Structure 1
Amino acid sequence: MNDNLAHPFPRAGWRNALGGLLLAATASLAHAPASAQGYAGLGTEAEGFALPSPETNFSFPRDHGPHPDFRIEWWYLTANLSGEDGNEYGIQWTLFRSALQPGEADGWDSPQIWMGHAGLTTPDAHFVAERLARGGIGQAGVSAHPFEAWIDDWQMRQTGGSTATLGSLSLSARGEGFGYDLSLQSDGPLVFQGNDGYSVKSPDGQASYYYSQPFYRITGTLSLADGPVRVTGEGWLDREWSSQPLSETQDGWDWISLHLATGAKLMGFRLRDRAGEPFTSATWIDPDGTAFPYSDGHLSLTPLAASDVSGADIPTSWQVDLPDRALSVTLSALNPQSWMSTSFPYWEGPVMISGTHSGRGYLEMTGYGPE
């Protein structure tokens, strides 16, 4: 938190007031407990907000920036890393934007609310930090050209390469007991999920705009209690925005991003529905970036074993099958205790892949945990 900002509340009062605003905007954050109106309120009607259209018309670098007429948006990066110490690691860096109403305004009149999450996973520990901010006062935001996303001193910033594909980025975050400073270099194109970036989320047709940059090569340093660790690895950036992406009966999801040893990649998700069967979607990505979308029913995500995480049984081993690609693999969590104990808690951490294919990736699960 930047102490130089002129807040109308004392420090604790500022956090409490902002926390209340964030609770009022849970529909944008996708990590609150399930409700009667879809997971985290994401099934509520988006009156007054813009909605995605199947007639997608992306424009870059503009669309790397914010879309304040939509209720929900995020810049979401995960990375699988290998340390010079011989250990495997994972990091997450996410900036969420939530709108109390459509549009933007200056200063404290801005209806935009921001939340940052940072995580670092080791085989033996999981570190979490969270930042909150109100839009309009410079504490958090995103600029499209040159690209920069920030909240307080956490930054994701373009350092070179193609602006259209977010070619080169620097990434940094700090929290209690951990930090990281990383350089990212993409060696592939953007990938548009679903139908050219129009990602359907339910049989009722709810959808989001969704594209990814899954081709980052990463170098940098992790900061841990035992000292700095040099790392290398691969990263995956997701960009998504919408206003009502779920139906009112969908109460959570299981999402994967996999880097396969062949150079191919796979994105997939399963949206759990208390009124019926889960809804699935997937994208197979060839090493050259050619994408092949798969609609509901082609991908199978099946939990195999659960772990006691924060007092709840949460599946941390999964069977993943995509028969059209002869893929049948098991995902095993690097650290089953990868619980994001943030204002809106969820599970997120690196996984190792075995079976017909090898590799590593990331797993996110929402809607689990204590009520």
Structure 2
Amino acid sequence: MNRIKIILVSLCFFHFSFPKDHNFHSEFALEWCYFVGHIKAESGNLYGYELSFFRLKFSDGENWNPEIFPVHFAISDLSTKRHYTAQTIKRKLGDLAGNKENRIYSGEYELEILSKDEFYIKAKPKSNEIALELRLIGNGNLLPHGKDGISIKSKRNPKIFSYYYSYPRLKTKGFLWIQGKKETIDSGDSWMDHEWSEKTSNTIPTLAKGKSGWDWICLMDDKGGDYVFFRFRESPEVSPEIFGTYRDPMGHVTYWKETGEVQMFPIGKTWKSKMTKIEYPLSWKILYPGGEWIVSAVFNEQEFDGSESTKTIYWEGAVKAEDPSQKKSAKGYLELKGYQKSRDWWEF
């Protein structure tokens, strides 16, 4: 506990500044900013999507400081239950990737930061199988995690932390292309997550070590509440640590950080990917103070094989949830990382 207090004291002067902090932070070694959402087309078709921008900086402590910018992109057709993915990885050479004052880009993927509360995202991979252009507008209510946005992932090892905030309920409109068919997106809710860590770039990042794993879920309920649950495993040999954030419809934020406050465990059978042979638990029960969530995937086949970019294979997809005790429902996204047995993801 004393170690946690010391680290928090040393970081307590950090404060977010928007829209500046929506962009990448060159002084840090590990960072990701991603968008997921449930969206609806004028045709009535329902889709989920993921667009994740990553940034990793290496260093030899002297003159070698290359940065790489992977991107993961996926569309889940919730009507036909089909999942499509694309990815890239570019270096900061020839202006193929990077970040400027109001822009993050890598190859055919781009995030424009239009203001503190407005974003434009574009994904047009060369495969032409899927693409999107979306405009996202928030209500001003960003959601920091942990004290002053400092999110400690492990009480056992408080050095594993990130600066972390979310932006739930981004109203979403634009266009989507799937196998050559253009869809006009007239409504939807997106969720933005942004994390960065590892101030010293000549050390191997601890948050994303090859042995680490996590089960992350964001939920937006039909009463106006927003939830994040995070089940972190520093390695397969240790028991998971579980944390949660809840913002009620009135805007009051609660952080669940004590052992046992939140319980999150898989229920039912696992699903085994035909492509990778990895098994994932896609049904979950979450017990939190005052209620519970029963979470299930909208459909199973929402695995992302990032072997061509970050070398990670994980499951990330649209989910639905029910809280029978409070008679409310929710929609969101679930990410399962660490079920792949492989080398560290930066070993290209």
How does the TM-score come out when normalised to structure 1? 0.77
Q: Distance in 2 between matches of 1:149 and 1:332?
A: 33
Q: Within 1, Cα distance between the matches of 2:339 and 2:163? A: 25
Report the AA paired with residue 278 of structure 1: P
Alignment partner, residue 6 of structure 2? none
Distance 1:245 1:53, change over 3 A: farther
After superposition, where does 1:153-164 map in structure 2 within 5 Å? 153-159=108-114, 163=115
* Equivalent-residue separation in structure 2 for 1:320 and 1:84 (angstroms): 34
Sort the Cα spacing of 1:112 and 1:283 in 2 relative to 1 into closer, same or farther, 3 A: same
Which amino acid in the other structure matches residue 291 of structure 1? Answer: V
In structure 2, the partner of 1:57 is 15
Contact kept, 8 Å, 2:169 with 2:220, in 1: the verdict is: no
Counterparts of 1:253-332 in structure 2 under 5 Å?
253-272=214-233, 273-297=235-259, 298-304=261-267, 305-309=269-273, 310-322=276-288, 324=289, 326-332=290-296
- Hey, what's the Cα distance between the residues in 1 that align with 2:297 and 2:341? 20
Alignment match, 1:222: 176
- 1:128 maps to 85
C-alpha deviations, 1:1-46, integer Å up to 9, x for none? xxxxxxxxxxxxxxxxxxxxxxxxxxxxxxxxxxxxxxxxxxxxxx
Q: CA deviation at 1:248?
A: 7.4
Q: Gapped runs of 5+ residues in structure 1?
A: 1-51
Equivalent residue, structure 1, for 2:120: 170
Q: Describe the superposition over 1:216-248 as per-residue Cα deviations: whole angstroms up to 9, x where unpaired.
A: 011122211262223321011111111145497
Cα distance change on mapping 1:296 and 1:137 into 2, 3 Å? farther
Task: Specify the SS of the correspondent of 1:341.
Answer: strand
CA distance in structure 1 between the partners assigned to 2:104 and 2:188 by the alignment: 22
Aligned mates of 1:85, 1:354 — CA distance in 2: 27
Supply the distance in 1 between the matched residues of 2:21 and 2:61 (Cα, whole angstroms): 16
- Matches of 2:220 and 2:171 in 1, distance apart? 12
How big is the shift at 1:283? 0.7
Displacement of 1:131 after TM fit? Answer: 1.1
Alignment root-mean-square deviation, CA? 2.4
- Shift in CA distance, 226/266, structure 1 to aligned 2, threshold 3 Å: same
| Structure 2 residue matching 1:345: 3-state secondary structure | strand
1:180 to partner: Cα distance: 1.1
Cα separation, 2, equivalents of 1:274 and 1:197: 27
Change in CA separation of 1:250 and 1:370 when aligned onto 2, cut-off 3 Å: closer
CA distance in 2, matches of 1:178, 1:246: 31
Superposed displacement of residue 249, structure 1: 9.9
Rounded Cα–Cα distance in structure 1 between residues aligned with 2:11 and 2:210 = 22
1:198 is aligned to 2:150: yes
Deviation at 1:89, TM superposition (A): 1.4
The SS at the match of 1:194 is coil
Residue in structure 2 matched with residue 362 of structure 1 by the alignment:
333
- In structure 2, what is the Cα distance between the partners aligned to 1:346 and 1:248? 14
Distance 1:354 1:226 in 2: 35
Q: For 1:255 and 1:221, how far apart are their aligned partners in 2?
A: 28
Q: 1:241 to 1:141 in 2, by over 3 A?
A: same
Specify the SS of the correspondent of 2:281: strand
Sequence identity percentage: 29
The equivalent residue for 2:194 is 239
Q: Output the CA distance in 2 between the equivalents of 1:102 and 1:92.
A: 33
Which residue in 1 is equivalent to 2:202?
Answer: none
DSSP 3-state at the match of 2:95: coil
Count of residue correspondences: 308
SS in 2 for 1:187: coil
Tell me the distance in 2 between the aligned counterparts of 1:221 and 1:170.
Answer: 12
